[in-house]
Amino acid sequence: MPSLIRFLVIVGVLAALAYAGMLAIVAYVSPQPREMTQTISPQRLNK
């Protein structure tokens, strides 16, 4: 049973680190807005 608890603690710590990393990215990185264009063939529009 101690190995199961150790495994769950390690998985929990790794999940917490991943969550903290995502929160840090959201808080400190702002995306640069830009315009996007993509051509679509007329055959795809007539379906």
What's the rounded mean pLDDT across residues 5-34?
96
Instruction: Decide if pLDDT at 13 tops 90.
Output: yes
pLDDT of residue 31: 85
CA–CA dist 40, 45 (Å, integer): 7
3-state SS, residue 35: coil
**Domain boundary assignment for the chain:** 1-42
CA–CA dist 23, 10 (Å, integer): 20
pLDDT of residue 47: 63
CA–CA dist 12, 8 (Å, integer): 6
More confident residue, 24 or 47: 24
Instruction: Decide if pLDDT at 35 tops 80.
Output: yes
pTM for this prediction: 0.60
CA–CA dist 12, 14 (Å, integer): 5
